[in-house]
């Protein structure tokens, strides 16, 4: 992976509180896993930057090397890799995602997060 790609990814992750590297965009996800994570963030009212890895092959491969995580989507909060679809789903249902967002000072809709848990109980 080139240093330029690494630098671009690092800048994006460090310049934004919440970043989702995904296939497609928040309004037009191109895979079910990306759609699920974007859906959770959208529903919970989390402000985030979406990076469409399908639009840039260098980023698509580069983000996997950057995080040492083999799949997309990938969620970053305050510069820290949080996880992919399965991890974010589990964290949402357990309330752990709420804790991460609160600890990092990221605003979200607590009621919406509770509704997700109630619907999946």
pLDDT in tens, 61-78: 999 999 999 999 999 999
* CATH code of 77's domain: 3.40.30.10
Average pLDDT over residues 84-108: 98
How far is CA 92 from its chain centroid?
A: 12
Task: Provide the domain count of the chain.
Answer: 1
Range of the domain at 64: 3-119
pLDDT score at 2: 77
Give, for 100, the enclosing helix (H) or strand (E): helix 96-103
pLDDT score at 110: 97
pLDDT in tens, 37-64: 999 999 999 999 999 999 999 999 999 9
């Amino acid at each position: 992976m080139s240093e330029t790609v690494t630098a671009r990814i690092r800048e994006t992750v460090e310049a934004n509180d919440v970043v989702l590297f995904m296939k497609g965009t928040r309004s037009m996800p191109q895979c079910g896993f990306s759609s699920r994570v974007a859906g959770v963030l959208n529903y919970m009212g989390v402000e985030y930057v979406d990076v469409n890895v399908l639009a840039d092959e260098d980023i698509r491969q580069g983000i996997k090397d950057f995080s040492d995580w083999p799949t997309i989507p990938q969620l970053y909060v305050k510069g820290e890799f949080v996880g992919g679809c399965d991890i974010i789903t589990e964290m949402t249902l357990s309330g752990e995602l709420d804790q991460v967002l609160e600890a990092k000072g990221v605003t979200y809709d607590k009621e919406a997060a509770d509704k997700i848990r109630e619907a999946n109980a």
